[in-house]
Structure 1
Amino acid sequence: MSSFKRFLAYVKPYWYYILFAAFGGMIKFVLPMIFPQLMRYFMDEFLVNAAVINDTLRSEYVSKISYYSAVLIAVYFFIWIPGVYIRHKYSGKLAQSVIFDLRYNLYRHIQRMSASYFDHNKSGGIVTRLISDIQMCQNMLGNAMTNIWIDGSILLFLLVIMFKMDVVLTLISLAILPFYIIIIKTIGQRVKRSSLLVQNEIEDMQGDIQEKISGANVIRAFTMEKQEADRFAQKSRKLFDFNMTRVKLSAANNALNGFLIKIAPVIIVWFASLSVLNGRLTIGEMTAFYAYLGMFYMPIERFSQLNVVFSNSMAAIERVFEVFDQTPDVQESNSAGKLENVKGAVEFRNVSFAYNENEKILTDINLKVEPGEKIAFVGASGAGKSSLVNLIPRFYDVSAGEILIDNQDIRDFTLKSLRENIGIVLQEAILFSGSLKENILYGKKDATADEIIKAAQAANAYDFIMEFEAGFETEVGERGSMLSGGQKQRLTITRAFLSDPAILILDEATSALDSRSENLIQESLEKLMEGRTTFIIAHRLSTIMNVDKIVVLENGKIKEVGTHQQLLQQNGIYTQYFKEQFQEAIKYSTEELSD
């Protein structure tokens, strides 16, 4: 119920839509209640005596019946049609407005989540909460928020009419309600549990599908199509079984409640027939009561269906607010200020970091970097290089110690202003579906055409961009699939030029490229690094020989710091790395020459 109350908070701003929809619903369902009374009047006043009246009276009866029928048709046309339109328009508008707000706020909340959230949750699963679960919440709005008021009001209104017509028949009609409530309570909870299982399985399946589709080439390369198809079949069968449980419960709900609603009129007709024979009821009154009985059970039947909808929707609502309840590990303080006029001095002071209590990655890191210095991090895989640089833009927060920019703790700045002053070029160039221009503008959303061109030229990207027929408007495809690795990397460097950061992070930016692309990109990176404090994670030592400092990491600790020459003279870990790389290169070159 806590999740439901929170959901209602999203409904509250649009309460007047519920009023409009309820007003239209009242017109839609109340106006037809005139017809049973009109039918009773026709039967008792006119039709019962049809066989014995004279022609003059028959003509008068025909005129009256025609008049009342024409009035009823006019009421339907001029009142009922607009009422139905209003009812469906505003119930739909309520649903769409609330779902828009909920989905938008959930997306914004997910964007604020720290990197650890995305480490522990599959992207496909996150999308399921954002799309599928929220879509199920919409059913609650379309069926519950308006129908419950309409149907409740109609039931009360009908009860008043029916009690006035015949108390005994009305009490017999109400006799099914206790059984109806038992069915709703019993089945509703089981439907909700079943729906949770279904949604959880859909989330897991969608996460797997997204992973497998993005890695389709790997599956084909290792001829794993059959195994993956079998795995998908197993998951689909599991989802099928969960769905069938939900279907069976829904079917049982419809069958049991349908039986109650269908058997009650039989009892009513039997008892009413006896009353007519005993002279307690007229045929017209019996016919009218039977018509009202159908109207009375119609909202009850909708309540039964609403029970299933409510249970399914509540399962989805709980899953949505489960995401809202997760808070980012990295948060701004209330007193956070804006990082401005950055000189670029960076200091790691007694920094330690762990992804969890049992996985310490960095220990007692102390490093001081002057503005404009170029610092390279070297070490084996798992030494903590990427983890260290990820702490600077606060993708993660330190477990102990502090990181300072221009002698001020980075936690004193807003995340937006901090990250606006840090440019990042990763080993994997991340692009999004859209045009080249749209991807470049991630660096500066309000950049002019001239600024974009200059940034592309500085990144050695302008020439290949202009080779495309559409130029900067060329579509890059999903994850930049229409571009080569070197082209994608030059676009990310273009973004970095456009953002003009004071601090730059290069995470093995050239390690996955061919020699020609590497040379072009290395040239553009040299321009990009000019005048900026730069942190470089390098696999190829040949690319970092001229940096100001090389920091050697091992098992999360700094082991050596110095220039290329200084570290070679120490004859330590760095020297070992250097020998391994260059001896391999010399050996490879010698073999090529001998061939």
Structure 2
Amino acid sequence: MARNKYDIDETLQSEFSFEQLKRLYAYIKPHRKEMLITILLMITSSALGMFTPKILMKIMDVYIPNKDINGIIRISLVLLLINFIVVVFLRLKIQITTKLGQTIIHEIRSDIFNHLQELPFSYYDDRPHGKIQVRVVNYVNSLSDLLSNGIVNTITELFSLFFIVGFMLSINIRLTLVCMLGLPALMTLIFVIKKKQRVAWQISSNKSSNLNAYIAESINGIRVTQSFVREQENIKIFNSLSSNYSSAWMNAVKYNFLLWPAIDNISTLTTSAVYFLGVSWISQEIPGITVGVLIAFTGYIGRFWAPVNTLASFYNSLLTAISYLERIFETIDEPVLVKDIPDAVEMPPIKGDVEFKDVCFSYEDGIRILNQVSFRAKQGESFAIVGPTGAGKTTIINLISRFYNLDSGQILIDGVDISQVTIKSLRKQMGVMLQDSFIFSGTIIDNIRYGNMEATDEQVIFAAKTVCAHDFIMELENGYYTEVNERGSRLSAGQRQLISFARALLADPKILILDEATSSIDTETEILLQEGLTKLLANRTSFIIAHRLSTIKNSSCILYVDKGIIQEMGNHETLMKQKGYYHELFVSQYDFLNKEAVNS
């Protein structure tokens, strides 16, 4: 798919609407009390600050002409007290809003991550993991300033603007109208750049997503890169993507910077106009305009444009945040295609009968992977699935765990349609080891216990001994408490598989699914492992995919799958007698191994 590449821009599935701002408000709503307290603190602080120019006006027009030193001292102390209260309130506001913003950020990020846990494999098949990660981390972080300060400051500044205009009108209406002459020009500019600004930030977020996707891919594939000496080519690709992001960001931020100088210029022009007309009107002795009035009014002019500047800054932050909100909510709205039906029931304790009835499945419309697949595995039987690459072997075992929805047909366990039961109750009773032996960062014992968090140390060790992992674990510096890196980079491929095997077995499942479980294990270890598995697989239904046919000779039934169809079915002896696909595969592999043995 196009979006599954680092060099293809993502496209939004839906246009932005104000409904998304309402959804953002839903995160803010539970914290209304803290926000209201902060707003009241700032409004009080702003209202107190509005008295400063009036106090200066009184000093200029009353106390200084009357040489009232005591009055000047008293009113200066009042001014000092007002400034002290303003500073205290500002400190409280910073503490509350910082904590509030980070709390809301945590809740949004938690909702995205929780939703990602529920999305089916198909979601992760369709897009680079770096593009998913950037939404959980970068995009949510970009909302931090908006939630921590932007909303509170905007509401506060709106009240401040109301107070300022009120004080300005109370001093002189004529000068107030002169001050506000610049607002129409500012509103026109905002309207003109609005759409361009939003589109520019969308493009910037696309380029950021592409860059993060390539970085994640490069880190995961660093061994291949260095093995094939691809460093310089990768650096060129990285530099190109980084340059694209830098250009897109510069273009987006250009629109943000248009408002700041515009406001400064309009502020300067209106201030100049107030000075020019004010001095002219004073010289003309127009009633109500004095030196004190002009000084007080110029003080209010600065305060008038400060909240306008803050509102413009919030507007910029909001348009930037909108481009990220669209991506965030798009992720949260991604449909969970594999989910419990409304009246799903708990899966009863599994005995182990598994039946496929005319199962059809496709990853993409029009491309069938499985076509009318039917078979039945009875309790305790082991079913091996073989066939060429891309035949649908892994798809079959993925469907047993219901990682994907069927196109048609049924999968029954103990006669129960698995689409009718809760996914959690189904998967908890299965042990699954997929081709990718994923090891999490942490200790060996925690990685094995991942299959059963309530297991004791003794149970973990027993599982490790069963799959022949105990000896190599004990040779590590701290045994079972040895720390391993993400993806188990300190361990060999075979060691990672054995740990994953122990993890699957520790779950004590009634149905055990093994996808290439022994592909990275040496022959000597495999022989020991088979001895342990023979005991462990007793009374368990198991499905095994293996390219080493020698490991599945004793299976109850072998399915030869090709082109999405079961071409042959039977035990080893039966299929060898048929001299069909399985016989040909077994003989060719046997001859190949013999030639290797002779050559070695």
Q: TM-score per shorter chain, which class?
A: over 0.9
Work out which of the residue numbers 422, 426, 432 in structure 2 matches 1:418.
426
1:400 counterpart residue number: 408
Matched, 1:467 2:475: yes
Q: CA deviation at 1:425?
A: 1.5
Work out which of the residue numbers 471, 479, 485 in structure 2 matches 1:477.
485
Contact 1:424–1:496, Cα closer than 8 Å, also in 2: yes
Amino acid across the alignment from 2:439: L
Q: Deviations over 1:255-287 (max 9, x none)?
A: 222211221111111111112222331211111
Matched, 1:506 2:514: yes
Q: CA deviation at 1:354?
A: 0.5
2:395 counterpart residue number: 387
Contact 1:188–1:307, Cα closer than 8 Å, also in 2: no
Taking the TM superposition and a 5 Å limit, the aligned residue runs for 1:101-120 are 101-120=107-126
Q: CA deviation at 1:247?
A: 2.3
2:22 counterpart residue number: 5
1:589 counterpart residue number: 597
Instruction: Tell me, in whole angstroms, the C-alpha distance in 2 between the residues paired with 1:402 and 1:472.
Output: 42
Q: CA deviation at 1:470?
A: 2.8
Amino acid across the alignment from 2:559: V
Q: Secondary structure of the residue that 2:134 maps to in structure 1?
A: helix
Instruction: Tell me, in whole angstroms, the C-alpha distance in 2 between the residues paired with 1:355 and 1:82.
Output: 61
Q: CA deviation at 1:453?
A: 2.6
Taking the TM superposition and a 5 Å limit, the aligned residue runs for 1:17-56 are 17-48=34-65
Q: CA deviation at 1:296?
A: 1.0
Taking the TM superposition and a 5 Å limit, the aligned residue runs for 1:238-257 are 238-257=244-263
Instruction: Tell me, in whole angstroms, the C-alpha distance in 2 between the residues paired with 1:297 and 1:588.
Output: 83
Change (3 A) 1:526 1:195: farther
Work out which of the residue numbers 363, 368, 389 in structure 1 matches 2:376.
368
Contact 2:102–2:148, Cα closer than 8 Å, also in 1: no
Q: Deviations over 1:107-161 (max 9, x none)?
A: 1111110110000011111000101111112232134321221011111111111
Q: CA deviation at 1:501?
A: 0.8
Instruction: Tell me, in whole angstroms, the C-alpha distance in 1 between the residues paired with 2:129 and 2:598.
Output: 47
Q: Deviations over 1:380-426 (max 9, x none)?
A: 00111001110011111111100000001001111111111111122
1:272 counterpart residue number: 278
Instruction: Tell me, in whole angstroms, the C-alpha distance in 1 between the residues paired with 2:78 and 2:164.
Output: 23
2:165 counterpart residue number: 159
1:62 counterpart residue number: 69
Instruction: Tell me, in whole angstroms, the C-alpha distance in 1 between the residues paired with 2:360 and 2:417.
Output: 15
How high is the TM-score relative to the length of structure 1? 0.95
Which residues of structure 2 form unaligned runs of 5+? Answer: 1-17
Work out which of the residue numbers 212, 219, 228 in structure 2 matches 1:222.
228
Q: Secondary structure of the residue that 1:175 maps to in structure 2?
A: helix
2:310 counterpart residue number: 302
Q: CA deviation at 1:438?
A: 2.3
Instruction: Tell me, in whole angstroms, the C-alpha distance in 1 between the residues paired with 2:433 and 2:462.
Output: 18
Q: Deviations over 1:471-522 (max 9, x none)?
A: 3322110211112222211211221222111101110111133334433443
Root-mean-square deviation (Å)? 1.6
Matched, 1:263 2:280: no
Q: CA deviation at 1:298?
A: 0.4
Q: Secondary structure of the residue that 2:432 maps to in structure 1?
A: strand
Instruction: Tell me, in whole angstroms, the C-alpha distance in 2 between the residues paired with 1:262 and 1:514.
Output: 80
Contact 1:143–1:306, Cα closer than 8 Å, also in 2: no
Q: Deviations over 1:523-570 (max 9, x none)?
A: 443343222100001101100000100011111001111110000000
Contact 1:30–1:154, Cα closer than 8 Å, also in 2: yes
Q: Which moved more, 1:184-193 or 1:578-587?
A: 184-193
Instruction: Tell me, in whole angstroms, the C-alpha distance in 2 between the residues paired with 1:81 and 1:236.
Output: 42
Instruction: Tell me, in whole angstroms, the C-alpha distance in 2 between the residues paired with 1:43 and 1:178.
Output: 34
Taking the TM superposition and a 5 Å limit, the aligned residue runs for 1:498-577 are 498-577=506-585
Change (3 A) 1:342 1:150: same
Amino acid across the alignment from 1:74: L
Amino acid across the alignment from 1:480: G
Instruction: Tell me, in whole angstroms, the C-alpha distance in 2 between the residues paired with 1:588 and 1:469.
Output: 36
Work out which of the residue numbers 130, 150, 153 in structure 1 matches 2:156.
150
Matched, 1:100 2:106: yes
Instruction: Tell me, in whole angstroms, the C-alpha distance in 2 between the residues paired with 1:266 and 1:523.
Output: 93
1:429 counterpart residue number: 437
Matched, 1:488 2:493: no
Work out which of the residue numbers 194, 210, 221 in structure 2 matches 1:204.
210
Instruction: Tell me, in whole angstroms, the C-alpha distance in 2 between the residues paired with 1:482 and 1:288.
Output: 72
Instruction: Tell me, in whole angstroms, the C-alpha distance in 1 between the residues paired with 2:479 and 2:86.
Output: 57
Amino acid across the alignment from 1:358: G
Q: Secondary structure of the residue that 1:389 maps to in structure 2?
A: helix
Q: Which moved more, 1:368-377 or 1:130-139?
A: 130-139
Q: Which moved more, 1:583-592 or 1:364-373?
A: 583-592
Work out which of the residue numbers 67, 72, 78 in structure 2 matches 1:71.
78
Taking the TM superposition and a 5 Å limit, the aligned residue runs for 1:310-349 are 310-349=318-357
Matched, 1:579 2:560: no
Contact 1:364–1:557, Cα closer than 8 Å, also in 2: yes
Q: CA deviation at 1:467?
A: 2.8
Matched, 1:15 2:21: no
Contact 2:435–2:517, Cα closer than 8 Å, also in 1: yes
Instruction: Tell me, in whole angstroms, the C-alpha distance in 2 between the residues paired with 1:293 and 1:556.
Output: 77
Work out which of the residue numbers 355, 360, 364 in structure 2 matches 1:352.
360
Contact 2:431–2:509, Cα closer than 8 Å, also in 1: yes
Contact 1:109–1:324, Cα closer than 8 Å, also in 2: yes
Matched, 1:171 2:177: yes
Instruction: Tell me, in whole angstroms, the C-alpha distance in 1 between the residues paired with 2:297 and 2:399.
Output: 75
Q: CA deviation at 1:38?
A: 1.3
Q: Secondary structure of the residue that 2:440 maps to in structure 1?
A: coil
Instruction: Tell me, in whole angstroms, the C-alpha distance in 2 between the residues paired with 1:338 and 1:23.
Output: 51
Amino acid across the alignment from 2:51: I
Q: CA deviation at 1:428?
A: 2.6
Instruction: Tell me, in whole angstroms, the C-alpha distance in 2 between the residues paired with 1:519 and 1:398.
Output: 37
Instruction: Tell me, in whole angstroms, the C-alpha distance in 1 between the residues paired with 2:60 and 2:572.
Output: 107
Contact 1:169–1:268, Cα closer than 8 Å, also in 2: yes
Q: Secondary structure of the residue that 1:305 maps to in structure 2?
A: helix
Amino acid across the alignment from 1:264: T
Q: CA deviation at 1:572?
A: 0.4
Instruction: Tell me, in whole angstroms, the C-alpha distance in 2 between the residues paired with 1:82 and 1:248.
Output: 36
Instruction: Tell me, in whole angstroms, the C-alpha distance in 1 between the residues paired with 2:20 and 2:589.
Output: 58
Change (3 A) 1:435 1:28: farther
Q: Which moved more, 1:391-400 or 1:451-460?
A: 451-460
Change (3 A) 1:527 1:25: farther
Instruction: Tell me, in whole angstroms, the C-alpha distance in 1 between the residues paired with 2:573 and 2:125.
Output: 39
Q: Deviations over 1:30-61 (max 9, x none)?
A: 22222111111111123346xxxxxxxx5xx3
Which residues of structure 1 form unaligned runs of 5+? Answer: 50-57
Q: Which moved more, 1:506-515 or 1:548-557?
A: 506-515
Instruction: Tell me, in whole angstroms, the C-alpha distance in 2 between the residues paired with 1:71 and 1:449.
Output: 70
Instruction: Tell me, in whole angstroms, the C-alpha distance in 1 between the residues paired with 2:83 and 2:153.
Output: 21
Instruction: Tell me, in whole angstroms, the C-alpha distance in 2 between the residues paired with 1:378 and 1:48.
Output: 103
Amino acid across the alignment from 2:37: F
Matched, 1:233 2:239: yes
Amino acid across the alignment from 2:116: I
Instruction: Tell me, in whole angstroms, the C-alpha distance in 2 between the residues paired with 1:198 and 1:176.
Output: 32
Contact 2:439–2:488, Cα closer than 8 Å, also in 1: yes
Q: CA deviation at 1:219?
A: 1.2
